[in-house]
Amino acid sequence: MKSIPIILLGCGGVGRQLLHHIISCRSLHSKQGIVIRVVGVSDSSSLLVSDDIMLSGMRDEFLAEICRAKSAGSPLKSLLNHGHCQLYTGQDALENIVSIASSLGRSTGLAVVDCSASAETIGLLEQVSSLGCCVVLANKKPLTCGIDDFEKLVSHFRRIRFESTVGAGLPVIASVTRVISSGDPISRIVGTLSGTLGYVMSELEEGKAFSEIVRAAKSLGYTEPDPRDDLSGMDVARKGLILSRLLGWRINLSDIKIESLYPSEFGPNSMSTEDFLSKGLSQLDVKLKERVATASSKGNVLRYVCVIEDSRCNVGLRELPKDSALGRLRGGDNVVEIYSRCYKNSPLVIQGAGAGNDTTAAGVLADIIDLQDLFA
Amino acid sequence: MKSIPIILLGCGGVGRQLLHHIISCRSLHSKQGIVIRVVGVSDSSSLLVSDDIMLSGMRDEFLAEICRAKSAGSPLKSLLNHGHCQLYTGQDALENIVSIASSLGRSTGLAVVDCSASAETIGLLEQVSSLGCCVVLANKKPLTCGIDDFEKLVSHFRRIRFESTVGAGLPVIASVTRVISSGDPISRIVGTLSGTLGYVMSELEEGKAFSEIVRAAKSLGYTEPDPRDDLSGMDVARKGLILSRLLGWRINLSDIKIESLYPSEFGPNSMSTEDFLSKGLSQLDVKLKERVATASSKGNVLRYVCVIEDSRCNVGLRELPKDSALGRLRGGDNVVEIYSRCYKNSPLVIQGAGAGNDTTAAGVLADIIDLQDLFA
C-alpha cells in the first residue's frame, strides 16, 4: 500500500467535496494500492492536526463530521474534542504545517492541497514545496500573483498540480502540458472559461434581459455572492493568466486586457452589492441587448472568451459565428480550443462542465493520485 | 539532468517521426532538465544497440541517418558500420534487450517504446516490465491480445503508457484515467475513432460513391495498403477494446460486435486487394448510398462509431442527428464523448486530429516524458 498523506487548506464547497470523494473512493484506491491519509485540515482561522500523522491520519467518521460542521457554518475549533487531534491558530498553525512538511515531505510525499480562495497561502506553499512536498491547488490566487512568486512556486514543476484552476475537472492543464512536452508548439488557445458567463450569454441569446438573467443566476447559486466577481471578467483573466504562464510567458494579471460587463462606476468601491442588483444591473440591459442584436444581424452570437495568442492574453466579449464550436455552446459548459503544429487547421478541443464543486474536487483528487509516481 | 534511456521497437512512419521529434526537442527537454538517450533501435529483422548504453546512447546524426535509410527502404543492418553500435538478430536481439533491461531497468527507468505493428512484441514487453522497465506503446496489438496477457502486461500500471493507441495524440486515455482515478464512475463512452472512416463518412454525405471515396482515400495515403484493414472496423474495435479494458472490463476482441463495411465474401481470404479495389468496392456503392439517404430523410447522418456502455462494446454504422457533436464532425477528426457522474447531461468531449505520424509520435513522446516521475 502506498500511503499519500495530505493537509487540506480550506473547508469551503470544494474542500468538503474533496473529503467526501476521498471517503467514498477508499475501496477504489485500495484496489490501486493507494491510501490517502488526511493528517490536517484548516479553515480560515485554525488548523486541526491528527495526533497520528505517521500512521492513519484522521478517521473517516471524523472527516464526515468536519464536513457537516463546516457546512452548517461552525468553525473547525468546535470539533477539537471530537477527534484525536490538536488545534493551532495563526502563526502556530503555519509553523505546524512546516514542521509536518519537514518530517514527511521528502520521504512520503506529503501533499498540501489548497482548496481555499485566499491570496495568503503562497508563502506557505513555497515553503513546503522547497521542503520536498507536493502542492495541489484548486485556488487560483497563488498562481496569479507576481511572476517572480509564481516562478518560485512552480520551480519544482513536477511536484505541483493545478488542473482544477482552469475548467474545473476538465483536463485542460494536463492536455496543454502534454502538447508542450511533446515538442508541439502551441500558437493559440481560445476558450470560454466561465460557466457563469456561459450561462449569461446563452440566456441573453434567448432574448432575456441581462438584469433578470444575473438575478436568476445568483438565486440558482451559479454566481459568487457578489455577481460582479464573475461579471468583472477577473476570474476568466486569472484562468487566462495561468494558461499563458504555462506557455512560458512571463506576464502578470495587469498585462491582460479585461473587458468588464459593468462600468467602473458600478464597481464594489462605488456601489453595494444590493444596490448593484436592484438598481445598477437594469441600467446595463439596453446596451447588452443591442450588442446581442448587432451580433445576431451578422449571423453571429456573443460569447465571453479568453484569447491567448501572439504573446497577448485578452478577455472579453466577442462576436463568433453561430455554428462555431464556441458559438454552439449552451449553458454552463466550458470549451477550450488549442492550436499547434499538430492541431493547426482543426484544433484540439476539450469541452464539458467547467464549474461545480463535484467536478472541481474530482479534478483535485485526480491530481493527488497523479503525484504518487514521485514517491516509491 | 535526468536521463531517460529508451529502446525503440519499429522504424516505420511513427517510429521515425519519434526519432525526429526527440532530436528537435533536445533544447526544450534540456530546459526541463531531461535528456532522452536512444540506446537501441530495432526493425522487423534486427536490433542496433549503441556501444555506449550507459552514457550518451546513439548520436543525433546517426539517428537521422537511421531515419533516412529506413525511409528509403534499407534495413537497419545496412547501417552497422556507420555508428558505434552492434547488430543483433532473432533470439540474440531479444536476449540483448532483456539484458539491457536488467542493467538499466530499475535504476534509470529504461523505457521500451513499441512503435511497431507487430503482435509478437508482447512477451518481450511483459519481460522488460517485470524487470522494472517502463513500456510505451503506439502499437495496439499487445493491448488487444487475450485478457490474461493484457492483465499481465498492465500489472505495473504506472509504468505503462499507451495514449497514442486511441485517437493518436489526443488525450483520450489520460482523460479516461483521470476521471476514473477521481472516483467519477464512467457510464458511457461514444466516439468516432478512425480518421479514415471519418473521411469516408463525410464524403458519403457529400453524395460521392463509396468506391470512388475509398480509392481516393487510398491514393491520398489515408488508408492502410489494403483498405479493408480500415473498412473491416477491426482497428476501431481494437481501440474500443483498449478503452473498455481501461474501465476494468475483462473482455476480449471476440466479445465486440463489429460491423464490417464489406461482406465476408469480399474479404482478404476470398479476394485480392486489387480485385477488391477494381471489382468488389463498386458493388457496395448502392447499399451505402441507400443507407445515407435513409438517414438523411430523418435529418440524420451516418457515422462509424464505437459505443461502450452497459458492459458492451459495439462498433459500426449509426444514424446520428446532424447537429450532434458526432454528426457535425467533418473529415478525419476524431471525437470522444465521456459520460460519468460529473459529466452526465453534457459529456466531457475531446476532439481533434486522431491520425497522422506527427501527432501519434508526439503522443508517444509526451508519454515518455510523463514517465520521468517514476525515477529520481
Is residue B80 less than 8 Å (CB to CB) from chain A?
Answer: no
Report the C-alpha gap between B147 and A162 in whole angstroms: 35
Which CATH architecture is the domain A181-353 placed in?
A: 2-Layer Sandwich (3.30)
Among chain B residues, CA nearest to A168: B342
- Kindly tell me the number of DSSP H helices and DSSP E strands found in chain B: 15, 13
CB contact under 8 A, A366 and B342: no
pLDDT of residue A73: 95
Q: What pLDDT digit, counting tens, does each position of A11-30 carry?
A: 999 999 999 999 999 999 99
Is residue B321 less than 8 Å (CB to CB) from chain A?
Answer: no
Grid coordinates representing B235 are: 482497428
Percent with pLDDT over 70 in chain A: 100
Is residue B30 less than 8 Å (CB to CB) from chain A?
Answer: no
- Residue A342 has its nearest CB partner, among B29, B359, B374, at B359
Contacts of A46 (CB under 8 A, 6+ apart): A75, A76, A77, A87, A88, A89, A93
A297 has pLDDT over 80: yes
Report the C-alpha gap between A219 and A203 in whole angstroms: 15
pLDDT of residue A93: 95
Report the C-alpha gap between B320 and B327 in whole angstroms: 6
Contacts of A107 (CB under 8 A, 6+ apart): none
A107 has pLDDT over 80: no
Specify the length of chain B in residues: 376
Report the C-alpha gap between B220 and B218 in whole angstroms: 5
- The binding site of B for NADP(+) comprises 10-15
The catalytic position among A77, A152, A239, A322 is A239
In this structure, are residues B138 and B241 in contact, taking their beta carbons and an 8 Å threshold? Answer: no
Contacts of B286 (CB under 8 A, 6+ apart): none
Residue (of A39, A206, A199, A59) closest to A128 by Cα position: A39
pLDDT of residue A187: 97
Is residue A374 less than 8 Å (CB to CB) from chain B?
Answer: yes
Tell the burial category of B273 from Cβ atoms under 10 Å away from its Cβ (0-12, 13-18, 19+): middle
Residue B336 CA neighbour count, 13 Å, CB half = 29
Task: Determine the distance from the C-alpha atom of residue B154 to the mean position of all C-alpha atoms in its chain, rounded to a whole number.
Answer: 16
Q: What pLDDT digit, counting tens, does each position of A270-290 carry?
A: 999 999 999 999 999 999 999
Grid coordinates representing B106 are: 530499475
Work out the number of other CB atoms within 10 angstroms of the CB of residue A336.
28
| Residue B129 identity | S
Helix (H, G, I), strand (E, B) or coil at B199: helix
Q: Locate the domains of chain A by residue range.
A: 2-168+358-374, 181-353
The catalytic position among B31, B141, B239, B257 is B239
Q: What pLDDT digit, counting tens, does each position of B59-105 carry?
A: 999 999 999 999 999 999 999 888 789 999 999 999 999 999 998 87
Rg, Å, chain A Cα set: 22
Provide the terminal-to-terminal Cα distance of chain B, rounded to the nearest Å: 11
Report the C-alpha gap between B7 and B10 in whole angstroms: 10
Grid coordinates representing B42 are: 530495432
Chain A residues in contact with B372 by the CB 8 A cut-off are: 158
Rounded to whole angstroms, what are the CA distances from B179 to A27, A113, A362, B213, B341? Answer: 16, 19, 8, 38, 10
pLDDT of residue A83: 77
What mean pLDDT, rounded, does chain B reach? 94
Grid coordinates representing B94 are: 531479444
Chain B residues in contact with A346 by the CB 8 A cut-off are: 331, 333, 352-353
pLDDT of residue A16: 97
Report the C-alpha gap between B194 and B334 in whole angstroms: 7
Is residue B205 less than 8 Å (CB to CB) from chain A?
Answer: no
Chain B residues in contact with A184 by the CB 8 A cut-off are: 169, 359, 362
Chain A residues in contact with B25 by the CB 8 A cut-off are: 182-183
A225 has pLDDT over 90: no
CB contact under 8 A, A358 and B346: no
ipTM of this model?
Answer: 0.94
Pairing state between β A257-258 and A312-321: parallel
Specify the length of chain A in residues: 376
Is residue A182 less than 8 Å (CB to CB) from chain B?
Answer: yes
What mean pLDDT, rounded, does chain A reach? 94
User: What are the φ and ψ backbone dihedral angles of A21, each rounded to 5 degrees?
Assistant: -60, -45
- The binding site of B for L-homoserine comprises 224
A42 has pLDDT over 90: yes
pLDDT of residue B289: 96
Which residues in chain B land under pLDDT 50?
A: none
- Does the annotation mark B239 as catalytic? yes
Contacts of B31 (CB under 8 A, 6+ apart): none
Q: What pLDDT digit, counting tens, does each position of A166-208 carry?
A: 999 999 999 999 999 999 999 999 999 999 999 999 999 999 9
Cα of A275 to nearest chain B Cα, Å: 36
- Residue B183 has its nearest CB partner, among A24, A181, A347, at A24
Residue A14 known to bind ligand: yes
- Residue A365 has its nearest CB partner, among B182, B346, B350, at B182
Interface of B with A in 334-363 (CB under 8 A): 341-343, 346-353, 356, 358-359, 362-363
For B181-354, CATH gives 3.30.360.10
Report the C-alpha gap between B37 and B10 in whole angstroms: 17
In this structure, are residues A36 and A368 in contact, taking their beta carbons and an 8 Å threshold? Answer: yes
Choose the mutation target among B29, B175, B181 for the interface with A, i.e. most A CBs under 10 Å. B181
Chain A residues in contact with B362 by the CB 8 A cut-off are: 179, 182-184, 342
The class (CATH top level) of A2-168+358-374 is alpha beta
Among chain A residues, CA nearest to B18: A182
CB contact under 8 A, B178 and A174: yes
Chain B residues in contact with A362 by the CB 8 A cut-off are: 179, 182-184, 342
Report the C-alpha gap between A339 and A307 in whole angstroms: 11
